[in-house]
Structure 1
Amino acid sequence: MKKQKVNKPAVHIIQKELLQPYNPVTINLIGAGGTGSQLLTALARMNHALTALGHAGVYVRVFDDDQVDTANLGRQLFTTAELGQYKSVALINRINRFFGTNWKAETIRYNKQSLKDRDLASAVITISCVDTVSARYEIGEILQHLTKNYGGRNRVKYWLDFGNSRSSGQVILSTLEKITQPASALYRPVENLPLVTEEFKELLNGSEHEDNTPSCSLAEALTKQDLFINSALANCGASLLWQMFREGILFNRGFFLNLADFRTQPLKVA
């Protein structure tokens, strides 16, 4: 009698170096605006929980050359006392004081000039919370260059990209190189998660017409992005990271979120 072929569920198994590191796992957070400001707080909470569980935790560097203005108040996590300050500095100072961390603010744009300091440009996990398609493509090019030309301790492994429109968005995890997977009798381990800039190229190019000019007020900003879309994405995306560190196995590598009708669609590992 012929054996029936069983389709094993596809999974991605996280590298052991992230699960049991000797040093904090380095994360570069690019963008400290609507989503980035919310995500940084989630990362600080996650770091506190990880260290309490005996993990080495994470070390975060925030890249943003933008300054706080009145249109940022309310939708982003800034106060009137921080007007005129660099967003990255305001956020990092607050996080370091509150959680006792020693994370770092970089008041520069993360672009190809960043390759002058590869130790700074490279991190085990890169998280992008940027507004434009061109910035996303540039980040992808930088990370691919670092994968080929940088072999330090913080060699880039994963890229977690956040993107949103007015009331919808997505979070997608990619790998920059093949991650060695153990053999499994239960699952089909997948060593490579495609880059968002390659897998969803048409989707990204189709959104190029969006208006990315700065808003002059909170009211104007809210016509472009819903008040809670950034925090919803940040919390769900942080949950994906938490799953990476705590469970070490992913069945889903991201999701699509529509806040208008409260729908979330997972993006399966395939």
Structure 2
Amino acid sequence: MNILTAIHITDNYLINPTNPITVNLIGAGGTGSNMVMALAKMNHALTALGHPGLQVYLYDNDRVSEANQGRQLFADSELGMFKSVALINRINRFFGTNWKAVTELFHQTALRTFPNNGKANLYISCVDKVAARMDIAEILKGFSGDSRYERNKPLYWMDCGNRKDTGQVILSTIEAVKQPESEQYQTVAKLPMVTDEFKGLLETSELDDDTPSCSVAEALTKQDLFINSTLANLGASLLWSLFREGMLYNRGFFLNLKEFRTQPLKVG
């Protein structure tokens, strides 16, 4: 008996959109500041290939401090600025984009005040708190089941989380994505939400000490210098496969940077 390889076929709107893909990037700290740079490079590559590209909204209400520099991508001239504003201004000037900074936490009570009422085709969460992830999950579940196919219809959620030198990136569908019939593969329409499948893992991955660091040296005792950038780049590579190959064999990965080991999380 042949067991077919499980794959997920990308929602067609990401492959052939009529407008730029809307992305809500939630969190502009260690991983988020690296992820937004990766998205900027991805957007540039996609548009060069004839794709409409990405329209990113970066959510974060935190301001840049000296302790953020080094591990996060901020300069002396950006001290005191909102992280989201500093990053988006820099990208817009460099790439000529019109991305937007939102200087608020992404949460249920403010959805109506957010761009597109908080809706986007793709959500990327780079947050430390389990409670923040759970809130995002509840918001996204509330968006599912709407039969209208609007340009900002929520399709996917990619969550990034880490401890000092380990982490994970997991891609979920917000609702089932219609899959084509296949005799070669076992197509999987629904990728489970990280908060449903790995709730226990998320709770143990939350940093033990979440008080703000007062210096770069103190910050580096909590998180390795390169854990965030490694997670962001590997996560962006997963998204690149979603856009360019149109199918996924893996829906995420677990990273151990201390042992230089990455374990893929298979579809199905």
The 5-angstrom pairing of residues 75-224 of structure 1 reads 75-117=71-113, 119-148=116-145, 151=148, 152-207=150-205, 210-224=208-222
Q: Which residue of 2 aligns with 1:44?
A: 40
Deviation at 1:206, TM superposition (A): 3.1
Equivalent in 10, 16, 20 of residue 12 of structure 2: 16
Distance 1:36 1:208, change over 3 A: closer
Residue 149 of structure 1, CA deviation:
5.9
Supply the distance in 2 between the matched residues of 1:166 and 1:209 (Cα, whole angstroms). Answer: 8
Q: Deviations over 1:208-265 (max 9, x none)?
A: 5721111111000000000000000000000000000000000000000000010000
The letter of the residue matching 1:36 is: G
Task: Tell whether 2:28 aligns with 1:32.
Answer: yes
1:144 and 1:132, CA in 2 relative to 1: closer, same or farther beyond 3 A? same
2:58 is the alignment partner of 1:62? yes
Q: Look up the equivalent residue of 2:128 and give its one-letter code.
A: D
Following superposition, the deviation at residue 195 of structure 1 comes to 0.4
Distance in 2 between the 1:76 and 1:209 partners? 17
SS class of match (2:144): helix
In 2, Cα distance between equivalents of 1:33 and 1:198 = 25
Go from structure 1 to structure 2 and tell me whether the alpha carbon gap of 1:104 and 1:150 turns closer, same or farther (over 3 Å shift).
farther
Q: Which runs of 4+ in 1 moved over 4 A?
A: 148-151
Deviates more, 1:139-148 or 1:182-191: 139-148
Q: Structure 1 CA distance, aligned partners of 2:40 and 2:78?
A: 20
Structure 2 match to 1:251? 249
Shift of 1:145: 1.1
Q: What is the aligned-residue RMSD (CA, Å)?
A: 1.3
Alignment CA distance shift 1:209-1:108 (3 Å): closer
Q: Deviations over 1:180-203 (max 9, x none)?
A: 000011100000000000000121
Query: Residue 170 of structure 2 contacts residue 194 of structure 2 at CA under 8 Å; is this kept in 1?
Result: yes
Q: TM-score, normalising length from structure 2?
A: 0.96
Listed one character per residue, the Cα deviations across residues 26-71 of structure 1 (whole Å, up to 9, x for unaligned) are 0000000000000101000000000101111111000000000010
Instruction: Write the distance in 1 (CA, Å) between the matches of 2:147 and 2:70.
Output: 40
The SS at the match of 1:255 is: strand
Q: 1:210 to 1:117 in 2, by over 3 A?
A: same
Secondary structure at the counterpart of residue 259 of structure 2: coil
Which amino acid in structure 1 is aligned with residue 124 of structure 2?
I
Give the % identical residues: 60
| Equivalent position of 2:67 in the other structure | 71
Aligned to 1:27, what secondary structure does the other structure show?
Answer: strand
Cα shift at 1:150:
8.7
Q: Does the aligned pair in 1 maintain the 2:163–2:206 contact within 8 Å?
A: no
